Structures are given as C-alpha cells and as structure tokens.
Amino acid sequence: MLPTTDTVTAPYRSMLRGRKMKRCLASLAAGLFMAISAGCTTLTSTPAVNADAAQSWALLPMNNLSEAPQADSQALTMLETQLRTRGVRQVAVYAPMQKVSLRTLLDPARQLNDAMEWARKNGYRYGFTGTINEWSYRTGADKEPVVGLNMKLVDISTGEVLWQANAARTGWGYASLPALADTVIDDLLEGVHFDNVSH
C-alpha cells in the first residue's frame, strides 16, 4: 500500500512545529535575559524636545539630596561626557570664581539663580540642572546600586523649562554604581533630540 500525502507530511509538519517552538522559547529567553540584566527601571518624562547641538551649553548646579557628598559632581561629569558624545562641543560647568558662602551652599535655589545669571552673562543657550534623589548601594549581602535622578533642560535667556524627566533604577548585586548612573543619564537624554550635530 502506497503512503498517503498526509502520512508523508505529518512528520515534516511535526518537525516544523518543533523548530517554531524552539525559536519562540529562544526569543522569550533572550527577552527575559535583557529584562533581568537591565534591573528595575522607572522613567517619567515630558514630551521629547529638539535642541541645537551647535549652541553653547551650561551645566548648572544639581541639588544633591542623596547621602553621597560628591554625587552632584559625578553626575555633572557623566552628563558632560554624554553631551559631547552626542555632538555638543561647547559645554561648560558652572564654577564660581569667588568663594561660595555657607548660606549659598545651603540654599540650592540661590545657587541656581547665581548660575543662571552667570550663564546669561556668558551667552549660553541651554542649561542642564536637576536633583539627585538617590545615589548609593543598598545595604545587604548583594549591595545593589540605586540611582534616582531628575533632570531639566532650560532656556538660559528666558528661564523656561524646555524638558524635564525623572528616572530611578536599581542594578543587580555587585554591579557598579557609576556604570548604573551613566546608564540612567543616557536613558534620560533620549528625551532630547540633538540637531546640527557635526560629524
């Protein structure tokens, strides 16, 4: 008796189903791995904006509410690098020439106002400021890094907030805090589209 078409194709169909199942499982595994490796992230942002990379940018003081004394300086250094990698060439960090009083240090709003005035006098177009809410390793055996940031892009001439975003991210045990912070800043800057980038 000759085999029918169904008896010939049945094993082939079964093989195809097996291959599809393997591909599906592989895709699910890859997605799960990416989700796990990314840690836990929350991000809230106003609509994305376009900004001119050819203009001059000022990095203004960040309000450091974390328990890490130099977190603001570290964040500004990372932000400067991120901006330069995106094609911004004229970047300056606000550093007052005269000694800052204790009263000013304890008044973030006054310090930001002084920085904005400095930026206006020096003809800067855009300014970045923000708040560091968390910058630490969690206590415990695994010591997961945790970073929480708020960032604002402001128009120096008018003081208008052009864009604002918050992000909080937890890394996995024994991950690097600076690496996690750099990733958070990179994620936040996805909300700013840079025009006139020179190559």
Are 16 and 94 in a shared domain? Answer: no
Neighbours of 183 (CB within 10 A): 20
Q: Which of 6-15, 125-134, 147-156 has the lowest mean pLDDT?
A: 6-15
Confidence (pLDDT) at 40 = 79
**Domain CATH number, residue 56:** 3.40.50.10610
Whether pLDDT at 66 is above 70: yes
Are 121 and 163 in a shared domain? Answer: yes
Are 91 and 144 in a shared domain? Answer: yes
CB proximity list for 180: less than 8 A, separation 6 or greater? 39, 145, 146, 147, 169, 171
Confidence (pLDDT) at 35 = 41
Structural domain including 22 reads 1-37
Q: Which of 3-12, 25-34, 43-52, 145-154 has the lowest mean pLDDT?
A: 25-34
pLDDT band at 99 (very low <50, low <70, confident <90, very high): low
pLDDT over 70 for what percent of the chain? 75
Whether pLDDT at 52 is above 70: yes
**104-138: pLDDT as tens digits:** 567 889 999 999 999 999 999 999 999 999 999 98
Could you tell me the pTM of the whole model? 0.77
Are 30 and 54 in a shared domain? Answer: no
* Domain count across the chain: 2
What does the pLDDT average to over 1-26? 52
- The CB-side HSE value for 20 (13 A sphere, CA atoms) comes to 6
